[in-house]
Structure 1
């Protein structure tokens, strides 16, 4: 037997199970920075020529060093504490492994100033996008699903920005770099 609900007026929402409040969900659409895309294209050309581009002579660029160093003027908790404090304990093992993977990947290219610049652009893009889109959602008290949707959006937008992507970053590499930023005190997954 089927009961029609088409003319029922209950003075509000009529739901069969869970009602999802999307009023706090922030939909983000990131615009690819044309200048970054052009710079990446030029860097890729240098890397394609010999796999190194401009040599670094073992020196890490100042801007990349900023992301590799733990900041001391903010939230100095490590990655593990940040994940625990934000209710992401199930991510600890994978996040730690991915953070290590990011570090090794960066160090693999320590002799290439060109590749260092690519990493700096990617880390900068992730850091800025997280700060400007994910952090406000966290501060608003959005649920984890909404926060993770924002994180997924910035990962996809960053991947799209990469263009030809000579260093072959995939979304998991970008997530690894995000955990790397978290481990070095640049981002967090809980309220300030």
Structure 2
């Protein structure tokens, strides 16, 4: 097949094939998604942050209580059943992608973002004794919504409930707590 363009007055791009257009500047996740989509690049990718993923998947040594105890202490006993299910789903997502270094990096970026946003915005509110309603609003506004937005093209098909599950996964592995220190 050949394409002949004579006297073009398109006033913009003429594309034969595929043109990638980003609504925003490419991010570290969009770059990792590109690697993920290319089988050759994906198989050659070496994870640079797998040690951080191991940190998040192992229980921290400073608060060894289980998720149930942390939620109860934080006045959230009413969501224990759901939180355990969401945490288990998150663990299954991590396990599903554990053999791929590029997906390890993607998941590590997501977990790291959730953890840092929680520590920066939610933990101070908990320490200040803010109400559960205020804390939950901060979780939604400062942790969940930005994490879902950060997913961008979301090649791993991580849903909003999966993001919530990753938050509880971090809580279950002693990286996040819902009560005062």
Q: Which residue of 2 aligns with 1:109?
A: 97
* TM-score normalised by structure 2 residue count: 0.80
Measured at CA, do residues 183 and 51 of structure 1 come closer, stay the same or move farther in structure 2, by a change above 3 Å? Answer: farther
Distance in 1 (CA, whole Å) between partners of 2:95 and 2:40 is: 15
Alignment partner of 1:98 out of 66, 82, 86: 86
1:22-37 alignment runs, 5 A limit = none
What do the CA deviations read for 1:83-123 (whole angstroms, capped 9, x no partner)? 11111111111111111111111010111000000000000
Alignment partner of 1:64 out of 46, 49, 53: 53
Q: Which residue of 2 aligns with 1:139?
A: 127
TM-superposed CA distance for 1:51, in Å, is: 10
Q: Secondary structure at the match of 2:176?
A: coil
1:1-192 alignment runs, 5 A limit = 38-50=27-39, 53-54=42-43, 61-72=50-61, 74-153=62-141, 154-192=143-181
TM-superposed CA distance for 1:134, in Å, is: 0.2
TM-superposed CA distance for 1:56, in Å, is: 8.1
Unaligned residue ranges in structure 2 (runs of 5+): 1-23
Distance in 2 (CA, whole Å) between partners of 1:38 and 1:87 is: 37
Measured at CA, do residues 184 and 56 of structure 1 come closer, stay the same or move farther in structure 2, by a change above 3 Å? Answer: farther
Distance in 2 (CA, whole Å) between partners of 1:48 and 1:155 is: 26
Q: How many pairs does the alignment contain?
A: 155
RMSD: 2.2
* TM-score normalised by structure 1 residue count: 0.75
